[in-house]
Structure formats: C-alpha cells, structure tokens
Structure 1
Amino acid sequence: MDGIKKRKAGIMAVAAICLTIASGCSDRKADNAGPGAAAREAVSVETAPVVVRAFEEVVRSQGSLSAKNSANVSARIPGTLVAVYVSEGDAVTAGRTKLFEVDSIKLRNAVEIGRQDRAVAEQGVRAAEAGLEQVNAQLLKMEKDLKRIAGLYDKDVVSKDSLEKAQSGHDQLAAAKKQAESAVSLARERQKQAEIALNISQKDLSDTLIYAPISGRVAMRFAEAGEMAAPGYPIVRIEDTSVLEASAFLPAQWFARVKESETKVRLEIPGVEFEPKTITYKSPTINPKLRTFEVKAVVTNPPEGVAPGAMAGLAVVLGTRESIAVPSDSVRELRGGNVVFIIRDGKAEMIEVKTGLESDGFIEILEGALSESDLVAVRGQRFLDDGTPVSVRREAE
C-alpha cells in the first residue's frame, strides 16, 4: 500500500510541474503579441458595379404549334373511292392539285339524261310558241271579219245571228290565245326546271373529283381506293406549314394585362431562335374550371425543323421598366431578409434591400440605399459582415 501511495504522489508532482511550464509559455506569447493581434484579417472579395438596366415582367407557359390554315377534306357526295391521288407529305396547290375521286358512272348518266330532258323542254317551248303564233293569226283574221260583219249588219245586209256568230268566234279565239300564252309560260318554266336539274347533275358530277381547297402539304390520309366516302368523313388533311400559330394558356390573373396586337411574346424552342412576336389572339372569356385563357401568336415562314405539333414555350412580356440592378450572386439572405455588401474605404457595408424581377443574371433592387457609383461584393460575400475589412482581388466581369 505504501508503494502505491508513493507512485500517486509522484504523478501529481509531475502534472503540477507541466502546468507551471505551460502557463509560463502562454504569458511569454501574450507579451510578444503586441497591439495588432486583435485586428481582424481582411476577407478577399470580387466586386461588380451597381447598374441601371431594363427588366421585363414575363409570364411563361408551355404551348404548342399548329398550322393556322388547315382543312379536313371529305367527299361532297357519297360513293366509292375510285382513286386517291396524293400521299402524306405531298405538296398541294389550291384549286390545282387533284386529291381523290368518287365513282361517277351514275352521275355521268344522270347528266346525259338531264341534257335530253333539257332538249325536250326546249322543243316544248318552241311548240307552245308556234301554237300561240297560230292563234294570234286566227284572232287577227277574226277581228277583221267581225269588223266587216258589224258594218254589214249596220246596213241591214246580214242578220243579227251572223253578227253574233262572228262575235262568238272572236271570243273563243281570244280565250284560245290566253290558253296558248299559258302553255308558252308553262313550257318555259319546264325548260328552266330541266336546266336547273342539268346544272345539279353536272355539279354532282364535278364534285366526284376533289381538288385541294388550300395550298400546303398532306398531313394525313384517312382512306384508300375502294372504300366508301361520304360528306363529313375526311379523306385527307391538308396543313399550310408556311404559317404557324403558337398557342398557350395563361393564368386568369394576367387576363387584363394581355392586349391583342400590343403585348409582345417570345417563342422558346431549344436550338431555334425567333424574332419577338405579338399576341394576335386572346380568348374573350376565361375558362371557369381551369381559370385560364388562351393566347396565340402567328409565326410566318418558320425556320427549318419547326412544324405543326411541336412544343413551344411562350414568354409573354407583360411590361418593361428600368431599375437599379445588381448581379444575382451579390444578394445574400441574412437575418430574415436580403442584403448586399458594398465596398467602401476597404470595408464591407451591409445594405438591406428589397428585390424584384430577375433576368440574365441580374436582380432588380426596389428598395435599398444603392447608387450606380457603388461596388457590390459578388465573390466572398458569404464571409462578410457589416464592417468586415476586405481586399478586392478584382472586379468581376
């Protein structure tokens, strides 16, 4: 037991000697540090100037492209397709390119019958007119006879019975004239009817062969020769790919700020550049279920690779304004707000700011004591606090 106690006492003595030596060394370091030991080390930063630049208030929406002019072409009369002259992708010209044809045998026969009916009607008119001319000649002669007999009756040369017979013959011919005139009118109406029927038959016959109603390309072909065709059932679809329309739906809150023919819009398709466009259409109502409204912009002569059906982003510019701006990297969230650090006299000065719009790497400053002559820290600002000494490495580009 005495040996153990002696070892413990030795250990405690050695520990006391070490503490004494360490305390002496610390005192000597403190004596040699001098008055500059308490100064903070300067933080290395990069700076950028505060600028005035334009900001756009933009609302973006994903939309799509479609042909502004398109046509689903169906047969005008029912029948069997005897030929489809175009394929998908073919270019067509309005009024010149044949698309498809419906069986026309019955209609050709109908046209021939119509021509014959018209010829019969024309003969009927000529016969009725000849009959009227005959009655007119007889009536003219009877008028002369009646006048002569009336003169003889006044001279007591002929009897009253002869005068009455002549008068009766005249009245009968006058009635026959009216009947002949009615027959001519009826024959002429039948001629018109035959002419109309023939025109309808000819129109039906011409409708068996369908030409392109618009210029463009055949986007789809829905039927083949031998299948039945009927009005309302498309055979081909044509789209004019030279004029496209970009459309998208925007939230209802922007309805009042979007103006047709005024509001600018940028189309955003990866790898494709477009000139700024103008909104050409805004739906007059807001969808009550989705709370959105549709906008459109026309794209004429789209670049290669842009076609109907493609997705397109629409960046609708609601307004543009010039404001004080700083690089987005210079803004730091601190103590529940946004701050920037400006560099003055070798030190960082913290400025509380209220930010607005952001674009192209800059953020708008709505509130904050900044001017164009200030430099803000864009690198190293995470290590800064108000009054921190700084050393500027260089001004950021």
Structure 2
Amino acid sequence: MAAACGGPAAEEAAVPQDLEGKKQLLAEKRSQLKALEAEVARLEAEIAEMEPSAGAVQTVTVMPLTRSDFRHFVEVQGAIASDEVVKVSPEIGGRILELKVDEGDMVRRGQLIARIDVEQLRKQLAELETALQLATEVYERQKRLWDQQIGSEIQYLQAKNNKERLEKSIETLKYQLGKSEVYAPISGEVDMVFAKAGELASPGMPLVQILDSRHVKVRADVPENYLKAVRKGERVQVRIPALEETRVAPIARVGNVIDPSNRTFPIEIPLRNADGLLKPNLLAIVYLNDFTEKDAVVVPLDLLQQELGGEWYVFVAEQTDRGTVARKVYVETGASYEGKIVITKGLKGDETLIVDGARSLADNQPIQVVTAQTAENNG
C-alpha cells in the first residue's frame, strides 16, 4: 500500500494544474534532462578511457570536410510567352474574297494573307471621277471669267472648293482601295484563324493570329520579399519541367511597379527557341539566388542528429592514443538547401565527418574506417 501511494498516481497528483505551474515544472525537467545527459556523456568518456575494450569497434565511412560557397535559391513559377503575337486585321470593311492561309502555315513578313471585296469602293471612285471632270470644267470657266473680272468672287471660290473637295475624296478612296489586300506584319506561324472566305470583315476585326515562336521569354511574378535578389542582367537558371531541361539566361526586364493584389513584381527572361519546343503558356521554374555565404562549412542535412533537449550534433573521426574514435560535436546551423546545411558554429571545416554508421555511434566509441568519400559529396 505504501509503495502504491508513492507510485505514478502520486507523481500525477504532484503535477500543477495551472499554466504557470506547468511551465515552471517543464523548465525544471528540461534542466534535469540536460544535467543527466551531461553526466551520461561524462561517464561514457571516463569508461571508454579506463576500459577501451568495453566499446565495440564500429565500422564507418567518412568524408573530409572542406569549406565552400553556399548558395540558397528560391523557386518562382512562371510561363513561356511569345515575344511577338500579332492579330492581323483589315483596315477597311467588306466581304472576304480570299483567305490564303490556314492554321499552322508559316508566313513571311509582307506575305499576302487575305483579299477584301472593294467593288463598291471602285464604283464610288468612278462616280467621283466623273463628278471631278465636271467640277474641273466649271472651275476653269469660272477662273477665266474671274481673271477677266466677270462674275462674282463667290462663284469662283465655290467652283474651286468643289473641285478640290472631289480631288481629296478620290485620293481617300484610292488609299482605301490600296488596303483591299491584307499582308502579314511579321514572320511566324499562323496560330489561329478567326474568319473564313465569304464572311464580312470590318476594320479592327482579327482575321488570323501570327505567332513568332523563334524568340520567346519567361514571364514570372516575384514576391516583393525577394526584390534585393533580382537584378537586371543577372544570369539565372530556368527549368522547363515538361521538357526536362534547364537553361541559363539573363534577366532582361525587372518591373518597376508592385502589384497591390498579390505583392509581386514581374520579370522577363528571353530564351532562344530555334527548335520550336517552347510553347506559349508552358510552365517554367526560375531559380533566384536570394542568399550566398562565402567560405562556409556545409554538411549533408541527413547527417545531423538531435538530442532530446533539442541540441544538434554530428560525429567526426578523431585520432587518439588508443586509435580512431567517434567524437560527438555539438553544432549550430544556418540556412539549408537541397539536402545541404550551413554549420555556423562547432566545426572548423577541416574535420573528418562520419557518414555511414553515425546513427549507431556513442561518443568516444572506437571506429574502423573502411571507405573515404570524396569531398565532392560535400558540394
């Protein structure tokens, strides 16, 4: 009965029920845990020194650490856009007599795209030319009379104005007749066809859309937090997931205005597209270097281990009088990217890091190195 009273039930009853009491108890337990871990580590080290044979020799692989530049990248999603997309429209209205292209056709700049019926304009031109002949005759007679000071000045001016008005009208009609044929403004591929022969066209109504896919660009909206990481002319990596390829190109444009709806600004990166594989609206991932640390100690992220108290540590191989042993080294960490992490404190960069077998080691445990990995894996 006495044992039961001092068991788990009594400990549970001793746990405070209020928030402040629980926080204080948690702090005390953490302090006790750290003290126990330190005592265990001290005892393990003393036992290993007094009785080296007590620890079984562990087979491990190691990797020499070297300092290197660490770069962190942020991934921004964008899309391929054509540098030139033009909707071709007639400048005059009328029935489409002939549409000379189909979707997928390649066209050159200046190539004939369509013909518009201008028969009505030709008839108007003929009427105006006939009227001009009469107006010219009337003007010439009025001018002769006026030169002889016969007739009124107003008759002379009316005849002159009528003749000049008809000449301007004819000039306008001839200009419109010259617009009966629609030509391609750029070279490229006919991406879409909006009209058919026989339909009525009006000024500004698109007939076809021409896409020049030889030169495309990536458009991406970058969060304003990374404004300092983007500079015009800086070369960045662009990955096209659908094509499983990565290209490097400079940033050609950085937007000057932040979009208030999503707090982003646009960037543009031109890409060559000689093979035509880059299609408009194709997904692209842009990698922006937002953090760089020179001459940093970088280790694989999966080699970091954590104690119950939250401290991070790694194992390094160390030569002693009794051979090679594993030494637990507590570290502080910095930025990480793609399985690599920066060690800000605890390692100098010239240690030998234990790779395989590190998870089952104890501090000061004897080890046997069977393989040395190259520092290239430290990347």
Could you say which TM-score interval applies, normalised by the shorter chain? Answer: 0.7 to 0.9
State how far apart, in whole Å, the 2-side matches of 1:252 and 1:349 are: 45
CA contact (8 A) 2:317 2:326 kept: yes
Measure how far apart 1:304 and its partner are: 4.4
2:34 corresponds to:
none
2:333 corresponds to:
354
Give deviations 1:53-104, integer Å, cap 9, x for gaps. 233332212221111111112232332222211111111222x211122221
State how far apart, in whole Å, the 1-side matches of 2:132 and 2:198 are: 34
Measure how far apart 1:220 and its partner are: 0.6
| CA separation of 1:232 and 1:317: change in aligned 2, threshold 3 A | farther
Measure how far apart 1:370 and its partner are: 2.1
Unaligned segments of structure 1, at least 5 residues: 1-34, 136-172
RMSD over aligned CA atoms reads: 2.7
CA contact (8 A) 2:333 2:345 kept: yes
In the alignment, does 2:240 pair up with 1:269? yes
State how far apart, in whole Å, the 2-side matches of 1:122 and 1:89 are: 53
2:350 corresponds to:
373
| 3-state SS, counterpart of residue 242 of structure 1 | strand
1:40 corresponds to:
55
In the alignment, does 2:358 pair up with 1:363? no
Measure how far apart 1:225 and its partner are: 1.2
Measure how far apart 1:212 and its partner are: 0.9
Aligned counterpart for 2:207 among listed residues 215, 220, 235: 235
Aligned counterpart for 1:281 among listed residues 246, 253, 259: 253
Measure how far apart 1:105 and its partner are: 1.1
Which aligned pairs between 1:1-397 and structure 2 lie closer than 5 A? 39-94=54-109, 96-135=110-149, 179-180=152-153, 185-259=157-231, 261-270=232-241, 271=243, 273-322=245-294, 323-335=296-308, 336-345=310-319, 346-351=324-329, 352-359=331-338, 362-365=340-343, 367-397=344-374
Unaligned segments of structure 2, at least 5 residues: 1-49, 375-379
State how far apart, in whole Å, the 2-side matches of 1:201 and 1:394 are: 89
The letter for the 2-side match of 1:130 is R
CA contact (8 A) 2:312 2:332 kept: yes
State how far apart, in whole Å, the 1-side matches of 2:96 and 2:89 are: 11
The letter for the 1-side match of 2:346 is A
Question: TM (normalized to structure 1)?
Answer: 0.71
The letter for the 2-side match of 1:40 is G
Give deviations 1:222-251, integer Å, cap 9, x for gaps. 121122222343221111111112112222
State how far apart, in whole Å, the 2-side matches of 1:384 and 1:123 are: 115
Which has the larger share of strand? 2
1:148 corresponds to:
none
The higher radius of gyration belongs to: 1
The letter for the 2-side match of 1:88 is E
State how far apart, in whole Å, the 1-side matches of 2:306 and 2:135 are: 96
CA contact (8 A) 1:43 1:388 kept: yes
The letter for the 2-side match of 1:219 is D
| CA separation of 1:45 and 1:116: change in aligned 2, threshold 3 A | farther
CA contact (8 A) 2:316 2:353 kept: yes
The letter for the 1-side match of 2:367 is V
CA contact (8 A) 1:74 1:233 kept: yes
Measure how far apart 1:131 and its partner are: 2.4
CA contact (8 A) 1:48 1:327 kept: no
Measure how far apart 1:319 and its partner are: 4.8
Which has the larger share of helix? 1
CA contact (8 A) 2:69 2:292 kept: yes
Percent identity for Structure 1 against Structure 2: 25
